[in-house]
Structure 1
Amino acid sequence: MKGQGGGIGEGSFIAGIAISSFVFAVAGTLSIFGSIAFLVIPLPLLFYYSKLGRFRGMLILAVSLVIVSLTLRHLGYHPVVPHLLLLGSLGPILSEVLRKNYSIEVTVLYSVSALLFLGMFVLAYYSAVRWESPLHIIESY
């Protein structure tokens, strides 16, 4: 079936978007299953990022976030996009670090550092957009 096109790119890309969007939606809507889904969010993104490459992996993350954000807003939920972005980006971060074949200590150190800096960037962005101090945004949680 090599001559029919599609192959690994098309089906896997759409499956990655569907699975990631489903996990994002569960994490954003259901309180009981949401806490479990927050732990599972990086796994499909880690898998499809490793399988399809950097560009398509990041595209899966972006498209899934947009789909879930629009769907949740349409259904009347307040989407928690910063949380989903941070946990979703952990998949590509882990994939990149695991690709380097570092030891487990270095893998954890680099992954946590990257996630910490991304979290600080997201907090600084929301602080600038809302014209509030970062501490005031943190206190609201």
Structure 2
Amino acid sequence: MNIQIPNWLIVLGGCGQIFTALIYPYIRHQVFDWYNDVKQLKPLNQEIAKTYGRYIQGLNFSFGLIAILIPNDLKNATNLAIAITGLIAAYWVGKVATQIAYYPMYEIPKRKLFKIGNYGMNALFVLFAVVYSLLFITNVFNH
């Protein structure tokens, strides 16, 4: 397969992933009032929810750093490139599938900024899923 994914697209995706990690606390607090919902859980479940939130934030940031710092290594068709791009592709494809399957039933607050942000974030998630899926596929076929 001879698809060439330009480094600027990989770096752009990396910047977007770091953006999602940095904006995540704002979205949880301002858009979804997540912390008040979590306070209704038992203490252990509160800590589990917060820990998983940090994992998500950390993964998004880490995936972004990898994309920005070593874009060539993500497309060099080595075993590690296949493993990393496959992992990141599965992560973002899973996120997009979850968005489609479960999130439409929830109401985004009515503020125009939040509605626009919702479309923007979903566009980023699709971009990440497409870029990393293409990287994974090209790595597998070029291995």
Query: What's the TM-score, normalizing by structure 1?
Result: 0.30
Query: What's the TM-score, normalizing by structure 2?
Result: 0.30
Which structure ranks higher in relative contact order (CA pairs < 8 Å, sequence separation ≥ 6)?
2
